[in-house]
Structure 1
Amino acid sequence: METGFTRRRLTDREAGTVLASLRAWEPSAGCGWQLQAGDLGWALRFEPAIRDEQIRVWWDATGRCAAVILCDQPGSARCAVNPAYLHDSTLADAVLADLSRRLDRAGGGPWIDPPPGPGALTRALLAAGYEPDPDIWLHLWRPLPGAVAEPPAEPTVRAFRSADAAQRVAVQHAAFPGSSLTPERYQRLRAVPGYRAELDLVGTVDDRITAFCLAWLGPPGGTALLEPAGTHPGHRRRGHASAVIAEAFRRLARLGATGVAVLTPVSNRPAVALYRALGFTAVAERRSYWPAPP
């Protein structure tokens, strides 16, 4: 079998193929470990020029997707690798060489998040002098359907509507200061393969959006992803995010998902506490790798 790999920009025509590949690489049951389809789906909201900078797709000699790299934060890269190539040193060396050129070291980077376990990319990082970042991320998972609390009187939880765009974007910015979301990007997001309108949820009080959650299906019968979920600061600690996420659980279960995953830093204690209260348990720790200090 040929072992040559090439990287090229992700076209709109190929986006569905790459998203399907990410879903296929996920285990059919239990918790997904790598960059997931929902992560890439959320990143596809950007304009083509930004997507070209953030998304790097590698293909094998037969035209099969071999690896997907998402550089959606300054100096960082999250990597998913086709299980057939997890231990392929040729692909790992090519990916690392490309990322070393691509990622700058501003702010102490680059941070590279390889697939977990002793795969070829992790071995290549260690051989190149990288070391694990001390900051730990928790991979949290919850089975579906599981016990789901009855919806409270407030907020009212429903699917996003086109007329909500300006409000939805404003609440995203309030929940995550510095967010890059715009109404135009939200419109683009809604055209991404894999986006499902019934899984794009908002919580409202007096017709004002207070919380939101966007869920993405994984492989059939597998793990779904929440990306993003948040609450307006003026409505935190009132159960609004919990209500929206609980409705996402119900809808995901009806669509055949058997579990749902989130990834959050250990240092984000409020988020960890919220997810644990919703029935999530930590199933793995994730660490990025960065160059050892000289």
Structure 2
Amino acid sequence: MVRPHDLRRRDFTGPDDLRAMQDLASRLWSPTSRFHPGQLAWSRYYRPVDPAALDDGEAVAVWTEAGETLGFGWAEAPDWLELQVDPARPDVAEEVIEWFEEVSDAETQSALVMEGDVAEQALGAAGFAPQPDEPFFTHHALDLVDLPPVPSVPGYRLRHVEPHEARERAAVHAASWSDVGPSEVDEQAYGQVMGAWPYRPDLDWVAVDANGEMVASALVWLDDAHGVGLVEPVGCVPAHRGRGLAGAVTLAALHRLAEVGAQVAQVSPRGDDGYPGPQRLYRSMGFRPQARTVTWSRSLR
């Protein structure tokens, strides 16, 4: 019998720890669970990083028992915690929150979990309280047998990315998000994305104009263990919006996802009224809401 004191924590040292986190996300995946392995890969590599090191103020730890990953904490900043734990082990959530107390010096701290997550009890016991009116994300799912056809957009062609196109692919992403703020995605970052599990170039789609320039994009990550693909991220260059390119390129990627054997697609847009456009787009394709996130916060002042 495995004893509680066999639970071990290790601090982040590189890609093997990211993979352990992804393996946990895959093992626990459902339409209502917090993470998909592709989401963790994108969150790690969307900006240029040293694969073996973390940014200043960032911390990651992984909890294992008998060789199995049971939870992780990702303090993306001193005031912000992302975490996932095995629902059968609420004690691990307590360990993660205690660790966050050790690595954070912020006077106000927040954590993001799914509504009803096993970590809620530990957060409440540590003085965190839910903030249901804060911005949140809503997981949406789509059965791929219900995919609508890919629309034709005159003057544009849809295709998947080639492995040597990291620079061009980074450029279309950065341009698509330029009106939100400066993007950290550059050629190095996108090269790291392309090298991360479970990236596949045949599930990374772009729309190109008559000159062959990429003007819209949609990346889908496939977790073979469950046959589920995560759409993350999607974008369209501002000058080419209003033509249906974001929807068309996403559907093209989803049709390829179905061709390679996946059964379900997931996407997690904002669910609050502060940023409604993406949610409307995905629901128009047939995605339906499943579960939402909730921010929990506490003040140590």
Q: TM-score, normalised by structure 2?
A: 0.84
Is the contact made by 1:145 and 1:250 (CA closer than 8 Å) also made in structure 2? no
Q: Which residue identity does 1:287 align to in structure 2?
A: V
Give the match for residue 2 of structure 1: 3
Q: Which residue identity does 1:127 align to in structure 2?
A: A
Is the contact made by 1:9 and 1:52 (CA closer than 8 Å) also made in structure 2? no
In the alignment, does 2:75 pair up with 1:68?
Answer: no
For 1:163-242, what aligned pairs fall within 5 Å after superposition?
Answer: 164-176=165-177, 177-206=181-210, 207-242=212-247
Superposition deviation, residue 138 in structure 1: 1.7
Is the contact made by 2:218 and 2:232 (CA closer than 8 Å) also made in structure 1? yes
The alpha-carbon distance between structure 1 residues 82 and 167, as it changes in their structure 2 partners (threshold 3 A), is same
Q: For 2:236 and 2:39, how far apart are their aligned partners in 1? A: 19
Gaps of 5+ in 1: none
CA offsets per residue over residues 226-280 of structure 1, 9 Å max, x none?
1111111111221111111101111111222221111122221111111111111
Q: For 1:220 and 1:145, how far apart are their aligned partners in 2? A: 19
Is the contact made by 2:198 and 2:223 (CA closer than 8 Å) also made in structure 1? no
Q: For 2:36 and 2:55, how far apart are their aligned partners in 1? A: 17
Q: For 1:98 and 1:178, how far apart are their aligned partners in 2? A: 32
* SS of alignment partner, residue 170 of structure 1: helix
Once structures 1 and 2 are overlaid, which stretch shifts more, 148-157 or 283-292?
A: 148-157
Q: For 2:24 and 2:76, how far apart are their aligned partners in 1? A: 19
Give the match for residue 290 of structure 2: 283
Superposition deviation, residue 23 in structure 1: 1.1
CA offsets per residue over residues 48-74 of structure 1, 9 Å max, x none?
323796562423231211113344467
In the alignment, does 2:11 pair up with 1:12?
Answer: no
Give the match for residue 38 of structure 2: 38
Q: For 1:285 and 1:145, how far apart are their aligned partners in 2? A: 24
Q: Which residue identity does 2:137 align to in structure 1?
A: W
CA offsets per residue over residues 18-55 of structure 1, 9 Å max, x none?
4233212113xxx1421220111113423232379656
Q: TM-score, normalised by structure 1?
A: 0.86
Say what the alpha-carbon RMSD is for the aligned residues: 2.5
Q: For 1:212 and 1:104, how far apart are their aligned partners in 2? A: 39
Q: For 1:196 and 1:32, how far apart are their aligned partners in 2? A: 24
Give the match for residue 24 of structure 1: 27
Superposition deviation, residue 216 in structure 1: 0.8
Q: For 1:14 and 1:213, how far apart are their aligned partners in 2? A: 27
Give the match for residue 262 of structure 1: 267
For 1:64-103, what aligned pairs fall within 5 Å after superposition?
Answer: 64-72=68-76, 75-85=79-89, 87-88=90-91, 91-103=92-104
CA offsets per residue over residues 131-171 of structure 1, 9 Å max, x none?
12222322222111313223313431111125533332222
Give the match for residue 252 of structure 2: 247
In the alignment, does 2:111 pair up with 1:112?
Answer: yes
Q: For 1:151 and 1:92, how far apart are their aligned partners in 2? A: 45
Aligned pair partner of 2:126 in 116, 125, 128: 128
Q: For 1:64 and 1:256, how far apart are their aligned partners in 2? A: 28
In the alignment, does 2:155 pair up with 1:157?
Answer: no
Q: Which residue identity does 1:259 align to in structure 2?
A: V
Q: For 1:243 and 1:98, how far apart are their aligned partners in 2? A: 44
Aligned residues: 285
Is the contact made by 1:157 and 1:204 (CA closer than 8 Å) also made in structure 2? yes
Percent sequence identity is 25
The alpha-carbon distance between structure 1 residues 56 and 219, as it changes in their structure 2 partners (threshold 3 A), is farther
Q: For 2:17 and 2:300, how far apart are their aligned partners in 1? A: 39
Gaps of 5+ in 2: none
Once structures 1 and 2 are overlaid, which stretch shifts more, 165-174 or 211-220?
A: 165-174
Q: Which residue identity does 1:290 align to in structure 2?
A: S
